[in-house]
Amino acid sequence: MLWRTHFLAGAALGIALSSGHDPKALALSAFVAGVAALLPDLDDPRSFLGRKAWPVSAGLKLAAGHRGAMHSLAAALVASAVLGFFLRSPVPEAFYLLLAGYLSHLLLDTLNPAGVPWLWPLKFRFRVPVVEVGSAVERLVLVPALFFLCAWLWFHSCPSIFTLAGRCVR
Mean of pLDDT over the chain: 90
Higher model confidence: residue 48 or residue 65?
Answer: 48
Higher-confidence residue of 109 and 67: namely 109
What is the pLDDT at residue 164?
46
Could you report the per-residue pLDDT of 88-124, keeping only the tens digit for each? 777 778 999 999 999 999 999 999 999 999 999 999 9
DSSP string, 104-148: HHHHHHHTSTT-B-TTTTS---B------TT-HHIIIIIHHHHHH
pLDDT in the model for residue 167: 58
pLDDT score, position 34: 98
pLDDT of residue 159: 56
**Cα 87 from Cα 71, distance rounded (Å):** 22
Residue with the bigger pLDDT between 92 and 2: it is 2
Residue ranges per domain, the chain? 3-168
The residue count for the chain: 170
What pLDDT is stored for residue 157 in this prediction? 83
Check residue 87 and give its pLDDT: 86
CA distance 138 to 62: 29
Q: 23-27, 50-54, 111-115, 161-165 — which is least confidently predicted?
A: 161-165
Asked if residue 120 lies in contact with residue 109, where contact means CB atoms within 8 angstroms, the answer is: no
